[in-house]
Every structure is written in C-alpha cells, then in structure tokens.
Amino acid sequence: MFGVIVSGRPVLTDVQTISQTQFAFTLPATPSFSHLVVFLLPGTELPPDTAAAVYVQLPGSPEFKLLGAIANEKPSAIFKVNNKAIGIYSIINDDDAMADESAAAPLSNGAAGNVMLGISVEPAALVAENLAQMKAQAAQPSSGLELVKRPLGSSPVPPKVLAQRIIKNAFNFLASFAGNGPGGSEVVPLKSFQDWWAKFEKRIERDPGFLERGDDD
C-alpha cells in the first residue's frame, strides 16, 4: 500500500503491517540521510475521508514524532529527518524540503540502530488538526523553526495562546469546507488544510504580528 524512498537506496515496499490501519518501515540509520519520500503505491487509494499520518522514531528515542501526512489528494511527500528528531513536513510544498540540504544536518554516520517510520491511516479531520498543532509548536521560538517573527519591543505571547490562535484561524477557514461523512460526522478534505496553510503563510509574510495581536480573519 505504501512505499518509501531514501536517496541512494532501493525503493522500499516491504511494509510491516501492525494492524489494519497501522504500518511500519525499518530504515538503517547508516549511511546517513536527511530526506525521505513516502508515497502511495500505484493503484492504491486510502479509504474515503482518511489520510495517512507519517511518524518517525529516531535511534535512541522512545517516542514517535509526527512528520506530516499523505492522502489521495496528495499521494506523496518529501520529509526532512535529522538528529534533532523533529522532521519538517512538506505536505504543503515539496520544494521546501529540497531547499538547502545543508540547513538540516543529516542523521550522523555514527548513529547506531534503525530509524522506524510509522504510518497510521486516520480520519482526515484528525490528521489536519494534528498537523495544525504541529505547525503551532514549530512556531514557538524555542523550536528553532519560528514561523512568526515577534515585532521588536513587543511582549512574548504564551505558546499555548499562540497555538490556540493558529488552530482557531485554521478552524474558521476549514469550517466552510466541512461535509457529511459516515454516520453523519463532519469531515474536511485534506486539500482544504493545504489551502489554509498556503493562505496562512502569505498572511504571516504580510503581517508577522497578527497572531500576537489576536486578529481574526
């Protein structure tokens, strides 16, 4: 159902089935790499209103961290993986992941063990929510992946408040795209989340301080 490509290595399709909705790949940490591609195999489709969340567990780490997701509307994505254990997902723009390879140090040649890649088929709305939360966490200055540049002299906004504002912004945008799913539940196409993020990034570029002010769309 899924395939993985690590630069310089054969294509991997021998996925380990953990359950009906959970899958895993084992990737040797050596030789070093900094990018990988996850994709749906040709002729394969996910169930309606679902997406495949991609997680990574690096050598020596007990936890899996969310990298991003793929879906029927986005059947492949390129991800950065480095020694700091946080992958920067590129579901919105694959070109971002290929820009300046030196910006993210690859997994060290001295890293022992394996990189575990987990794939979980989940409701698309839940995946979109988790991606929004991941983006909010990445926006925190301490992460080194700051999305929002705080105006000089302004007071820092607590990370929880900043995350709430980003999620609220996403909810307000995505609410208009909600449709009826199985059992009458509301579902949102993953592409709508992609459209929201593209719009959100543009606003950040135009007005970096709008989240700190608590402005709404």
pLDDT in tens, 173-205: 888 777 776 666 777 787 887 888 888 878 777
Report the distance separating Cα 91 and Cα 78, nearest Å.
7
Entry pTM: 0.57
Distance CA 210, CA 166 (A): 10
Distances (CA, A) of 180 to 30, 60, 69, 74, 171: 46, 43, 22, 21, 16
3-state secondary structure of 203: helix
Helix count and strand count (H, E) for the chain? 5, 10
| Residue whose token pair is 């399709």 | 13
Cis preceding linkage at 31, omega within 30: yes
12-33 pLDDT, tens digit each: 999 999 999 999 999 998 888 8
DSSP assignment letter at 18: S
Handedness of CA 155, 160, 161, 166 (dihedral sign): positive
Q: What is the pLDDT of residues 101-155, one digit of tens each?
A: 333 444 443 445 889 999 999 999 999 988 888 887 766 554 333 444 444 444 4
Q: What pLDDT, on a 0 to 100 scale, did the predictor assign at position 165?
A: 78
Taking only the tens place, the pLDDT of each residue in 61-79 is 888 889 899 999 999 999 8
pLDDT at 52: 96
> Which residue blocks in the chain are alpha helix, DSSP H?
94-98, 124-138, 159-174, 190-206, 210-213
Q: What is the pLDDT of residues 118-133, one digit of tens each?
A: 999 999 999 998 888 8
Local confidence band at 88 (pLDDT 50, 70, 90 cut-offs): very low
Q: How confident is the model at residue 80 (pLDDT cuts 50, 70, 90)?
A: confident
* 160, pLDDT greater than 90: no
